[in-house]
Amino acid sequence: MELTNISPELCELIGAIIGNGNLWTDGSRYRVEITGHPQLDKEYFDYLSTIAYHLFKKKPYPIRVRQRGLRWRLQSKEAFTVLAGLGLPVGQGKSYKVTIPEQILQKNWDLIRWTIRGIMDTDGTLFFSKKTYDYPIYPTIELRTASKKLSNQLETILLQNGFRARPRGNEKEGFHVALYGLEMLKRWMTAIGFSNPKHTNKILKQKTFI
């Protein structure tokens, strides 16, 4: 696969790895791995397996629970080479230095948004609180990361595309970029959306929605 052939599917997989994945090699084996919730992420990981096969013509290992986390693993030198070539960190310390690759940032919003979707689907949170209402119907979308540069990227991109993104956090506690209220959730659903059913299922359970 050419590095210039950046598709929505590749961007979404990259986002998932940025959110809660890693690249690993010992020089003879090459691995892409993503970790998720053992009950909530199974359907989403099946979806990622379909994407990976379409991109690299190789099936990931059967999804399994390991160390109380759901593990998605693709053993592929081609996938590793493409992803590392785009600038995703290899090995330990990824969480603190990962960023959205420049080759994606140079593309248009129609590709960048797929990367943000992947980040949200693996490492983002959607929850509803009461605020001034009788029921927990006030939505918050929150993206968390240990990478300050990634947090800054997300804030800038979202602000540039009509979102009221509010950052907070520090090196010790991590960095958060949050979107508050029904208007922002509606905009997210229109402009970015979710692929992980654990997010859409929360929305379907609400008494009021879009």
Strands of the sheet with 69-75, listed across from one edge: 21-25, 30-36, 69-75, 64-66
Q: pLDDT tens digits, the chain, 210 residues: what are they?
A: 555 589 999 999 999 999 999 999 999 999 999 999 999 999 999 999 999 999 999 999 999 998 789 999 999 999 999 999 999 999 888 999 999 999 999 999 999 999 999 999 999 999 998 766 656 678 999 999 999 999 999 999 999 999 999 999 888 889 999 999 999 999 999 999 999 999 999 988 875 554
Q: What is the pLDDT of residue 204?
A: 85
- For the whole model, what pTM was predicted? 0.93
**SS3 state at 140:** strand
Strands of the sheet with 166-170, listed across from one edge: 124-129, 138-145, 174-180, 166-170
Domains in the chain, CATH or no CATH each: 8-96 (3.10.28.10), 120-204 (3.10.28.10)
Q: What is the pLDDT of residue 67?
A: 77
Q: What is the pLDDT of residue 102?
A: 95
Q: What is the pLDDT of residue 6?
A: 93
Q: How far apart are CA 58 and CA 79, in angstroms?
A: 9
Return the structure tokens found at 3: 């590095």
Name the nearest CA neighbour of 52 among 64, 43, 41, 61: 61
Q: At 162, which amino acid appears?
A: G
Q: Residue 127: is it exposed, middle or buried by C-beta count within 10 angstroms (0-12/13-18/19+)?
A: exposed
65-84 pLDDT, tens digit per residue, is 987 899 999 999 999 999 99
Question: What are the E-state strand segments in 43-153?
Answer: 64-66, 69-75, 124-129, 138-145
| Residue 107 to residues 40, 54, 56, 96, 132, Cα–Cα distance (Å) | 32, 21, 22, 24, 41
Q: How far apart are CA 112 and CA 106, in angstroms?
A: 9
